[in-house]
């Protein structure tokens, strides 16, 4: 019997409809829609408590958060980063008139290969922007050592890592700044949204200027700022979703472990395992298709799609394979190879385990 049910690679977490409606009800009373509203301030306080951090600024999306992190640190020249990321990371660097320099990744966890960073440092290098990938954590200790040695700033692209702990501390504690994305597809969402966490207390006022046109008061404009403010409807969604986050992560863990159980012995399928000392958020379930598997990555992608199962070639292409950045420095053969082989499988809290069984059956039988 044909199964016509469509399964998408992700599905946005939503709170109970009544909870969200109750949360936004006061907006109709006070007509305060944006500009650091009551719900914005509540969400900011809630996330600071959840992450156990002192300094946090909310943004309308993660991309503008990252652009403004680069601006608040006054970076220039060259920044070392990884091409194995969503294009937003690279664009944020380039849109600040900075040249991205690409470092290859580790084969095991797909994060930046710290053994190759120092060879890329020049007198123009001002920072490193590593990326925590799929919830996998970068080698934060070695990155900190390198940054101190060469007097470089570190901004972590933590778009995939909200809710991740490393050695008992939230991942937000590392680097000069960490950027989180709260896009609808993420483990925690505010519809669209993002945040910066930082150690320097002085950044708060500067970031407020940068995200609100540089306005100090009604008659003073002191920065060439833009508009990156989170509105009250986004904040309300975040407040509601944050209450359910830990439970949603537990549900994702069950799905993740089911995939591991069913795919661990499939020849030619490389799985992603949780790193030592990491409390994961189970954001994604990537598989890498090796030569021993009878189908190519693209073949499997198309086979699953023909069965109504929508996966994602994530990340493909890598940043330095697109025309805009092909001429940037850095050889990244591992990133290129993984990009040509990786497929992220469906994972979200309310995905039925029977659907996981169906997906894995197709992967095993290749038909």
pLDDT in tens, 233-245: 999 999 999 999 9
Is 311 within 8 Å of 298 (Cβ atoms)?
A: no
Tens-digit pLDDT profile for residues 85-144 = 999 999 999 999 999 999 999 999 999 999 999 999 999 999 999 999 999 999 999 999
Is 12 within the bounds of a domain?
no
Whether residue 31 is found in the same domain as residue 94: yes
Is 141 within the bounds of a domain?
yes
Q: Give pLDDT, residue 2.
A: 56
Is 286 within the bounds of a domain?
yes
Q: Give pLDDT, residue 5.
A: 86
State mean pLDDT over 73-86.
98
Is 266 within 8 Å of 363 (Cβ atoms)?
A: yes
Asked if the model's pLDDT at residue 63 lies above 50, the reply is yes
- The DSSP secondary-structure symbol of 27 reads H
**Residues forming beta bridges with residue 195, ordered by sequence position:** 58, 180
Whether residue 30 is found in the same domain as residue 123: yes
What domain range includes position 157? 17-239
What average pLDDT is seen over the chain? 97
Whether residue 120 is found in the same domain as residue 235: yes
How far CA 229 is from CA of 41, 50, 95, 280, 307, in Å, comes to 12, 21, 19, 29, 41
Choice between 25 and 4, residue whose per-residue pLDDT is larger: 25
Whether residue 95 is found in the same domain as residue 225: yes
Is 11 within the bounds of a domain?
no
State mean pLDDT over 285-310.
98
Q: Which of 181, 216, 239 is the last residue of a domain?
A: 239
How far CA 120 is from CA of 113, 126, 283, 329, in Å, comes to 12, 12, 30, 8
Whether residue 223 is found in the same domain as residue 251: no
Whether residue 235 is found in the same domain as residue 254: no
Q: What's the domain count of the chain? A: 2
Question: Distance between CA 30 and CA 190 in Å, rounded?
Answer: 21
Q: Give pLDDT, residue 1.
A: 45
Whether residue 303 is found in the same domain as residue 342: yes
The token pair at 244 is: 């359910």
CATH of the domain at 324: 3.90.1150.10
Question: Distance between CA 14 and CA 243 in Å, rounded?
Answer: 11
Q: Which of 223, 239, 255 is the last residue of a domain?
A: 239
The token pair at 216 is: 């100090």
Q: Which of 239, 262, 296 is the last residue of a domain?
A: 239
CATH of the domain at 104: 3.40.640.10
Q: Give pLDDT, residue 217.
A: 86
Confidence of residue 8 (pLDDT cuts 50, 70, 90): very high
Is 160 within the bounds of a domain?
yes
Whether residue 178 is found in the same domain as residue 41: yes
Is 212 within the bounds of a domain?
yes
Is 129 within the bounds of a domain?
yes
Q: Give pLDDT, residue 297.
A: 98
How far CA 298 is from CA of 281, 312, 343, in Å, comes to 27, 10, 9
Question: Distance between CA 58 and CA 324 in Å, rounded?
Answer: 30
Question: Distance between CA 133 and CA 259 in Å, rounded?
Answer: 19
Is 112 within 8 Å of 103 (Cβ atoms)?
A: yes
Is 292 within the bounds of a domain?
yes
Tens-digit pLDDT profile for residues 159-206 = 999 999 999 999 999 999 999 999 999 999 999 999 999 999 999 999
Q: Give pLDDT, residue 3.
A: 67
Of 366, 232, 213, 224, which is closest to residue 299 (Cα–Cα)? 366
Whether residue 93 is found in the same domain as residue 233: yes
Whether residue 229 is found in the same domain as residue 83: yes
Whether residue 330 is found in the same domain as residue 205: no
Whether residue 28 is found in the same domain as residue 162: yes
């Amino acid at each position: 019997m044909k199964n016509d049910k469509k399964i998408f690679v992700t599905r946005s977490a939503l709170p109970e409809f009544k909870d969200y409606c109750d949360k936004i009800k006061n907006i109709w009373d006070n007509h305060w829609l944006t500009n650091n509203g009551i719900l914005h301030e509540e969400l900011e306080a809630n996330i600071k408590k959840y992450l156990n951090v002192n300094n946090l600024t909310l943004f309308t999306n993660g991309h503008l958060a990252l652009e403004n992190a680069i601006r608040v640190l006054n970076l220039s020249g060259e920044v070392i980063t990884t091409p194995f990321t969503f294009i937003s990371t690279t664009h944020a660097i380039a849109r600040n008139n900075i040249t991205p320099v690409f470092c290859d990744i580790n084969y095991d966890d797909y994060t930046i290969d710290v053994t190759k960073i120092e060879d890329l440092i020049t007198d123009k290098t001002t920072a490193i922007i590593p990326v925590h990938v799929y919830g996998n954590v970068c080698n934060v200790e070695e990155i900190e050592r390198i940054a101190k040695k060469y007097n470089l700033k570190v901004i972590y692209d933590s778009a995939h890592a909200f809710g991740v702990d490393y050695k008992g501390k939230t991942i937000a504690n590392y680097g000069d700044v960490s950027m989180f994305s709260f896009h609808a597809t993420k483990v925690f969402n505010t519809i669209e949204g993002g945040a910066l966490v930082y150690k320097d207390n002085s950044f708060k006022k500067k970031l407020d200027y940068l995200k609100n046109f540089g306005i100090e008061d009604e008659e003073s404009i002191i920065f060439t700022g833009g508009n990156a403010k989170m509105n009250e409807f986004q904040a309300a969604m975040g407040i509601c979703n944050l209450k359910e986050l830990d439970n949603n992560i537990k549900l994702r863990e069950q799905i993740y472990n089911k995939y591991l159980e069913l795919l661990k012995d499939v020849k030619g399928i490389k799985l992603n395992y949780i790193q030592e000392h990491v409390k994961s958020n189970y954001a994604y379930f990537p598989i890498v298709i090796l030569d021993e598997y009878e189908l190519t990555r693209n073949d499997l992608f198309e086979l699953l799609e023909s069965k109504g199962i929508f996966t994602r070639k994530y990340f493909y292409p890598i940043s330095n394979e697109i025309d805009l950045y092909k001429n940037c420095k850095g050889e990244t053969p591992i990133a290129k190879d993984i990009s040509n082989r990786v497929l992220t499988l469906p994972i979200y809290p309310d995905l039925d385990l029977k659907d996981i069984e169906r997906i894995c059956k197709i992967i095993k039988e290749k038909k």
